[in-house]
Amino acid sequence: MKALVLIKFASTESRDAYHQLCRLKPVTESYMVYGRYDAVLMLQAKNIEEIHDILLSDVQPVSGVIEVLPCIIVENGTTVPDQKLQSQQSSA
């Protein structure tokens, strides 16, 4: 299963946070972007629960990450997961 993860950073820590996230093993692609979000990560995982765990344990705790919006990729031949991942904001 793949997910695009849109990330918003605290402006002063964006570059360091981005480079830290790029080194995570489940990240297969990453881009800094302009717009409402500051970065996009492509995650590869076994299932939606693993994506959820990666977001909670590896992405959210990175200093400078203030919002995470996961977008599950639905590919031909795969079933749509019943569970929903919601946008998560840090209390920073």
Q: Following DSSP, what letter does each residue of 36-72 receive, concatenated?
A: S-SEEEEEE-SSHHHHHHHIIIIITTSTTEEEEEEEE
- Predicted local distance difference test score (pLDDT) of residue 75: 75
- Quote helix, strand, coil % in the chain, to nearest 5: 25, 35, 40
- Which tokens in the block code for residue 92? 């920073």
Please tell me the predicted confidence (pLDDT) of residue 82. 57
pTM given for the model: 0.79
**pLDDT score, position 77:** 59
CA atoms within 13 A on the CB side of 37: 18
* 88 lies in some domain: no
User: Running along the chain, 92 residues long, what does each successive block of 10 average in pLDDT?
Assistant: 95 86 97 94 96 96 95 73 56 49
Residue 88: predicted pLDDT: 56
Residue 69 lies in a domain: yes
Domain-located, residue 82: no
CATH number at 32 reads 3.30.70.920
Residue 87 located in a structural domain: no
Tally the domains of the chain.
1
Give the pLDDT of residue 45.
Answer: 95
Instruction: Show the domain range for 64.
Output: 2-75
Question: Cβ distance 86 to 15 under 8 Å?
Answer: no
